[in-house]
Structure 1
């Protein structure tokens, strides 16, 4: 049985990889990019209800994808919501759980959510939590009586970001649009 090893590389420099469609990629791809999530240089913290904020990191309108960091600033709740797409999150700070599950996410923990599930996000941590998320599709929010309140999708999150930037004289960052 062969042992899997990392691909070999002995150069710490750019290697010219031949690719048949490189000219098309160069012409049509938005290219790779870096978004500074540690400061407000690339994206500010935008209020998200009472006691929470979102740092928007990416918007992809072609696939309905969006990425952000959700910061619940102390013990609190993000109300019951239903995902219509796949959600991948990593707990960066604090801890968080869903009332509907028997686990608690801590720093470094991976949270996977599938379409069609509804849940209520809760943090009891004294400093709240920060969650990095890569999300696809709409999220429907409901009140405590299960009445529909609002749908948040890539367009909602773009509006959330751009409205805050305009109201606070912050330039809209084109790097966030992929």
Structure 2
């Protein structure tokens, strides 16, 4: 058995920086946007932006290169986010409350992982009196439809950037460059 397949845990628990050899370190330094921390607990890095009458979004990241965006969706009390069709992959974690889709027979609770694949449509509902908070990492456009199945709007990385920037401008809030990857 070689050393790589026998590793049961990381090789060191020492809290120190190790100079790791990497042939492309100079390219990374010149071209990578770098790692960053976004405070999701307060409004220091990103405010709650209204999303309809009973919901808000805290934008966490925008990557125009891959049409990827991250946010926390907060439905503030029992309610719904209309039927939508995903054109990309969605990964969400339920942070607070609970949520379900009318199209499935499960209910997500705190700590639960929700995976959505392109080409599926669903209607997000929370029956919880305190609503739900969902952390999401999303790729690709999301098409929203009304109660008659009529197309209403496409939300993609550009839509979410506009949502955030418009709110910031209208409320005198500085646009945070850390959110752009």
- Category of TM-score, reference length = shorter chain: over 0.9
Query: 1:118-157, aligned counterparts within 5 Å?
Result: 118-157=121-160
What is the CA deviation profile of residues 20-59 of structure 1, one whole-angstrom value per residue up to 9, with x for unaligned ones?
0101101111100000000000000000011100000000
Q: Which runs of 5+ in 2 are unaligned?
A: none
CA RMSD of aligned residues (A): 1.1
**Whole-Å Cα distance in 2 between the matches of residues 11 and 38 of structure 1?**
29
> What residue in structure 2 maps to residue 94 of structure 1?
97
**How far off its partner does 1:3 sit?**
5.6
Moved over 6 A (4+): none
**How far off its partner does 1:11 sit?**
2.4
> What residue in structure 1 maps to residue 15 of structure 2?
12
> What residue in structure 1 maps to residue 117 of structure 2?
114
Q: Which of the residues 40, 43, 57 maps onto 2:60? A: 57
SS in structure 2 at match of 1:134: strand
TM-score (norm 1): 0.98
Q: Structure 1's 3 and 19: CA in aligned 2 closer, same or farther, altered over 3 A? A: closer
**Whole-Å Cα distance in 2 between the matches of residues 170 and 7 of structure 1?**
42
Q: Which runs of 5+ in 1 are unaligned?
A: none
**Whole-Å Cα distance in 2 between the matches of residues 37 and 26 of structure 1?**
26
What is the CA deviation profile of residues 87-111 of structure 1, one whole-angstrom value per residue up to 9, with x for unaligned ones?
0000000000000000000000000
SS in structure 2 at match of 1:165: helix
Are 1:83 and 2:107 an aligned pair? Answer: no
SS in structure 1 at match of 2:85: strand
Are 1:44 and 2:83 an aligned pair? Answer: no
